[in-house]
Structures are given as C-alpha cells and as structure tokens.
C-alpha cells in the first residue's frame, strides 16, 4: 500500500516532486526581492509603525499637553527637522516650537544634532541644527513604575527618591539634585548624602551621563565609506546605519565617561549661572528668547545625569528569558539560566546579546548557590538543567546559551496564542506548522500534515492571509492541463512588525478606555468619601476594579511590546 507523504515538512514527497524545484526557485527569488527592498542604510533600527506613532503621541499628550505632542508627532512622522521647518509645518510661532523642543529635550524624547549642508558652486557649506524624536525613550515613559520597582528592590529609600526625581525631571545636574534634597535648607550633609546616593545609582548603572546635546554628524558619504571599508579580517562590509542610529551613536558619551563618578558642582559663591541654563526644579519651563539654536543645548560646564534605560532593558530581557524557561521547561532550568545571566550581565555590551557565556560549571554553580531557590540544587541537577536548556557545552565543561533562540520562542508563543484565540485550534496547528517550517508549503501538504480537512484548510489559510498573518504565492504549472497551486508561509520579517503595531494599537486602546471610564465617573470621583454610600459606593468600587484591570493589563502588554521591540 502506498502511503501519503510524511508529515515532516522537510521531507519531500513523490506527489510534490513536480513542483518542489519551482518552490525552491520561488523562495530564492523572494529572498532576493526582500534584500533589494531593504532600505538603503538598513541598520537595525526600524522606523516606528503607524500605531507606534499614535501611541507615542498619546503618551506625550498625557504628560505634557497637546502642543508638545503635536511637535513630537511632526518629528515622528517627518523625521529629523530644523527648528525653522518645524515652525513651517506646524504653523505655530517659533517661540512655541522652541518651548516644546526644550521640554522634549529635557525629557530625553528629542535629540538635537548638527549637520553640514554642502553649498553650491560659489556658496560655502553651512551647518544647521536638526531635531530628532527618540521614539524608544517616549515609549519607555510607560515603564517608569517598573524602573522604580527594580531600584526599590536593590537600593535604599534615598536612592529611590533621587531616581524618581530624575524620572520626573528627565535630566538633572548634581547641583539641582542637591537643591531638591535640601529643599531650601543650608545643609552640608545634604550635599554629601546626595553625592553618595547618586554614586550608588551610577555604580548600579541605573543612572548615566547625558549624551552630547548637539553632536555633529559628518556627511553621509564619508561615514558610509568608513562603514563599508573592508578589512582583512572581515568578509562582509558593515551595514550602514540609519540616521537615528548615527545620531544616537555620535551623541553617546564614551564608555569610560558614561558612569564616571567625578562630580563638579558650582555653588552660588564659586560660579555664575548662565543666562540660559536648564529650568530649575519646580520652575516653569520658559527660556529667554535668543536667536541662536545653541540655547537649546545644555551648559557644558555642568554634567547632566539621566536614567540609564539600557540597564533596565537588560534586566527585563533576562527576566523574560527566565520566566519563559520556567513555564516551558521547569524551575531548575530557570534557576540555572538565571545564574548564567546574572554572571554574564556585566560582560554584555548591548541589550540584544545573542548568547550568554561561555561560563564554567563551577562559576554557574557559585551563582546558583547564592539564591534561595538554588541552595538545594546539586551539581548533577545543575548539569541536567543546563542540558535541558540546550546549552552548548565546551571541552572544559563550559556552557553557553542561545538567548536569541529563547526570545524567538517567547515571541512565537505570543503570536500563536493570538492565532489560537482569534481563529481556533485548527488555525493554530496550521500556523505552527508554517512557523516551524519557515518555508513555502502547498495547501494539500498543509492539510495532510496538520490533519485539517482540505476545504477547511483553504478557508483558514485565506483568513490568515487576509489578516496579514501569512504570505501567499501562486504557482502555475503548465502541462497537459494548467494547474494552479497556492503556497503559504509565515514571513516573520513582515508579521512581527504587524503584531507589534497591533500591540501599540491595543495599548493605546487600553489608555483611551481608562480615560473614558474615569471621565464617565468624573462627578463620582469628585464627591467626598462620606457621600459615597450605597449604589454610589458600588459604582466607585467598580471603577476602582476596572481601573486596576485596565492598568495592570497595560503593564503586562508593555512586557509583550518589549519582547517584540526591545529584546
């Protein structure tokens, strides 16, 4: 008896021999098209999506008002612009634009930079200042409570208070921090205490020096040439960066300076305040009008400090990996992974590190024993857990783990969960088949491998394709009879941004619903407590429950947004 082809997606079947070379050709052509379509200067930073921008604008609007939000939106949609162009596009006064930019720069949501524009035949080149919205920092504003929670767990109350001040004000000099701590008292210990508190935050990498307020960008051709230069050690030229990446890289302080805890303060006796220093704590955010754009930069003599978001992203990424492993495997594997990540965190240069390790078994075991959960773990149990994690083992019993793979698995689970809830179990099986195969598969093969009736398979595939979960290609085979085959694939390079955009949309909706529920019960909220009795108290309790549910859902959804955007 002849059997139907194996359900192993990688196994070729006799019935598909006629078109499998065609499928391979199609895939190769598709990959070529994707490479050609990549924007010049691809880099790794993806421009924000439609709902990403709407969500970011909503955050700015809630925190700083509509005018600042509109300036921010202009920069997010149009890219970096000069002050003059912003005024032109916004059709508001120059001073209003300037004030909005000041607020956004103060809060690390905009980064200024200068560029040289080559002149014409007889004109000299001229330099102008442009302003670029930093989308990531805007979204990070929703995570401030999570940052505070991390600092609370590790440092003392004074550190938390200082840290909250930095979150509130965006960036502060040591002097401003001392003023804030003193609250008007002439107190020497306050100065030392603040310095010590700031040192603790810097040493823990929770706080960093602010970037250069206005770095200069060389013309793109020079920088691209340097980036593309082949050395004898590299086989592939480095990918040119996007303008956003170039600006942030140019602005970033040197690693040696970034966490340098040498403080310089100017007191009222020693120094003079400049005419255009950053607004003091508690003052209104207004500057005297000056013609030059330099007023929008900081005073170079005073070091500005801000929250180091990268450290928190590292920690959240590690936490997400550990929780995924705990749920997918078991507690022992989670303890082993946590130990590896704690040990290797200081060595990680960037958030999206592919691997953790290699680390020797003894190093990992030392770290495991520090935690309560690991004290009962034997060395053999640890070895078994490391094997279960799929760690690569070196000759000296060192272990390395692929973090990128764990993140991908977590992302897959998130999307598969949506498919299951939205389209049902059969669609879930079909989607998982295509996701695992990572190549084009024909309808009949999907039907037979996933054990879904063929008619139902076609309906499900079309629904998923219509909602942009799947990519579809048609193959027409000419012969005695012309036959059309439909091939399907999960294309993560387009699907993941689509899912992320839906998450931004959902986050925006949660925010809007909270605002709507509070607005609806505005009168009830303004009532004194003693007047809230009977049905009013019931409504108040309902409102409290609703708000808790919506806001906690938003925090959880933010974890999923980080999974797709930041990790």
Partner 1 sequence: MKGFLAKILLNTMSKRKRPDLKVPAPYMTEQEKILYNLIQSKQDLGIWSWDIKRETSLPDNVVDKSLKSLRSKLLIKEVVNVQFKGRKHYLASEFEPSSEITGGKWYNDQGFLETEFINFLKDQCLKHIRNLKIATVDTVANAVRRSRVLKIDCSSQEIGDIVRALVLDNDVIEMRSNGLGEFASVPTGRMCYKCRRSPDAMKEPRVGVMAWIPCGVCPRIARCMPGGTISPMTCEYYSKWLDF
Site for partner 1, rule CB under 8 A = 1-4, 6-8, 15, 327-328, 383-384, 387-388, 390, 393, 413-418, 420-422, 425, 428-429, 432-433, 444, 448-455, 467, 480-481, 499, 502-503, 505-506, 508-510, 512-513, 516-517, 542, 545-546, 549-550, 553, 556-557, 559-560
The distance of closest approach from Cβ of residue 553 to partner 1 in the complex, given in angstroms and rounded to an integer, is 5
CA 434/CA 88 separation, integer angstroms? 49
C-beta closer to partner 1: residue 512 or 525: 512
The distance of closest approach from Cβ of residue 486 to partner 1 in the complex, given in angstroms and rounded to an integer, is 13
The distance of closest approach from Cβ of residue 10 to partner 1 in the complex, given in angstroms and rounded to an integer, is 11
> Helix or strand or coil: residue 211?
coil
C-beta closer to partner 1: residue 148 or 420: 420
- For residue 456, give Cα distances in angstroms to 134, 217, 486: 46, 56, 15
The distance of closest approach from Cβ of residue 95 to partner 1 in the complex, given in angstroms and rounded to an integer, is 31
C-beta closer to partner 1: residue 8 or 222: 8
Q: Residue 404: which of 439, 437, 356 has the closest Cα?
A: 356
Are the beta carbons of 247 and 111 closer than 8 angstroms? Answer: yes
Secondary structure E strands in 118-237 = 126-133, 172-173, 207-209, 216-217
The distance of closest approach from Cβ of residue 413 to partner 1 in the complex, given in angstroms and rounded to an integer, is 6
Are the beta carbons of 490 and 435 closer than 8 angstroms? Answer: yes
The distance of closest approach from Cβ of residue 294 to partner 1 in the complex, given in angstroms and rounded to an integer, is 40
Q: How wide is the angle at C-alpha 19 spanned by C-alphas 18 and 22, nearest 5°?
A: 130
CA 541/CA 58 separation, integer angstroms? 27
Q: Residue 78: which of 38, 42, 47, 115 has the closest Cα?
A: 47
Beta bridge partners of 486: 474
The distance of closest approach from Cβ of residue 23 to partner 1 in the complex, given in angstroms and rounded to an integer, is 18
CA 15/CA 2 separation, integer angstroms? 11
C-beta closer to partner 1: residue 201 or 503: 503
Q: Residue 103: which of 52, 147, 67, 57 has the closest Cα?
A: 67
C-beta closer to partner 1: residue 245 or 442: 442
Are the beta carbons of 178 and 191 closer than 8 angstroms? Answer: yes
> Helix or strand or coil: residue 509?
helix
Residue 169 CB partners (closer than 8 Å, separation 6+)? 106, 176, 281
The distance of closest approach from Cβ of residue 353 to partner 1 in the complex, given in angstroms and rounded to an integer, is 23
The distance of closest approach from Cβ of residue 484 to partner 1 in the complex, given in angstroms and rounded to an integer, is 13
- Extract the tokens encoding 557: 């959804």
C-beta closer to partner 1: residue 158 or 456: 456
C-beta closer to partner 1: residue 173 or 449: 449
Residue 393 — φ and ψ, nearest 5°?
-105, 130
Strand order across the 126-133 sheet: 81-82, 126-133, 110-117, 216-217
C-beta closer to partner 1: residue 157 or 481: 481
The distance of closest approach from Cβ of residue 493 to partner 1 in the complex, given in angstroms and rounded to an integer, is 19
Q: Classify residue 283 as left (phi > 0), alpha (psi -120 to 50) or beta.
A: beta
C-beta closer to partner 1: residue 402 or 517: 517
C-beta closer to partner 1: residue 201 or 391: 391
């Amino acid at each position: 008896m002849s059997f139907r082809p194996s359900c192993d997606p990688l196994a070729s079947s006799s019935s598909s021999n006629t078109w499998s070379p065609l499928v391979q050709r199609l895939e190769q052509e598709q990959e070529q098209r994707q490479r050609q379509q990549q924007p010049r200067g691809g880099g790794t930073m993806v421009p924000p999506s439609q709902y990403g921008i709407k969500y970011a604008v909503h955050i700015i609007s809630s925190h700083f008002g509509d005018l600042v939000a509109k300036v921010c939106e202009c920069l997010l949609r149009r890219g970096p612009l000069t002050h003059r162009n912003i005024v032109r596009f916004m059709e508001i006064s120059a001073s209003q634009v300037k004030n909005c930019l000041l607020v956004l720069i103060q809060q690390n949501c905009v980064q200024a930079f200068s560029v040289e524009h080559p002149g014409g035949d007889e004109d000299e080149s001229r330099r102008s200042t442009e302003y670029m919205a930093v989308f990531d920092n805007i979204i990070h504003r929703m995570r401030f409570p999570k940052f505070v929670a991390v600092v609370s767990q590790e440092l003392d109350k004074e550190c938390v208070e200082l840290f909250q001040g930095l979150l509130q004000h965006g960036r502060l000099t040591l002097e401003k921090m001392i003023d804030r701590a003193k609250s008007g008292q002439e107190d020497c210990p306050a100065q030392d205490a603040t310095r010590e508190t700031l040192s603790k935050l810097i040493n823990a990498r929770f706080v960093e020096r602010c970037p250069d307020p206005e770095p200069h960008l060389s013309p793109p051709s020079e920088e691209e040439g340097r980036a593309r230069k082949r050395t004898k050690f590299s086989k592939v030229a480095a990918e040119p960066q996007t303008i956003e990446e170039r600006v942030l890289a140019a602005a970033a302080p040197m690693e040696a300076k970034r966490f340098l805890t040498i403080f310089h303060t100017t007191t009222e006796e020693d120094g003079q305040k400049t005419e255009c220093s950053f607004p003091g704590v508690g003052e209104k955010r207004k500057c005297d009008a000056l013609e030059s754009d330099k007023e929008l930069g900081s005073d170079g003599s005073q070091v500005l400090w801000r929250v180091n978001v990268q450290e928190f992203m590292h920690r959240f990424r590690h936490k997400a990996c550990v929780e995924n492993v705990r749920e997918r495997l078991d507690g022992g594997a989670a303890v082993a992974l946590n130990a590896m990540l704690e040990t290797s965190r200081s060595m990680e240069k960037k958030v999206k590190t592919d691997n953790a390790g290699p680390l020797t078994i003894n190093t990992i075991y030392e770290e495991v024993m520090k935690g309560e959960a690991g004290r009962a773990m034997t060395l053999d149990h640890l070895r078994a857990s490391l094997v279960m994690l799929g760690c690569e083992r070196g000759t000296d019993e060192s272990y390395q783990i692929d973090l990128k793979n764990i993140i991908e698995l977590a992302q897959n689970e998130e999307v598969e969960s949506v498919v299951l809830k939205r389209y049902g179990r059969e669609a879930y099986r079909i989607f998982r088949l295509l996701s695992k195969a990572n190549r084009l598969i024909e309808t009949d093969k999907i039907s037979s491998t996933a054990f879904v009736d063929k008619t139902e398979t076609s309906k499900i595939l079309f629904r998923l394709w219509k909602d942009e979960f799947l990519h579809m290609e048609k193959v027409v085979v000419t012969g005695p009879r012309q036959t059309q085959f439909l091939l399907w694939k999960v294309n993560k390079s387009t699907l993941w941004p689509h899912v992320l955009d839906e998450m931004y949309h959902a986050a925006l909706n949660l925010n809007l619903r909270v605002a709507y529920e509070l607005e609806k019960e505005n009168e009830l909220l303004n009532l004194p407590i003693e007047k809230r009795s009977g049905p009013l108290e019931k409504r108040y309790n309902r409102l409290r429950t609703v708000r808790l549910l919506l806001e906690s859902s938003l925090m959880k959804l933010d974890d999923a947004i980080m999974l797709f955007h930041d990790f």
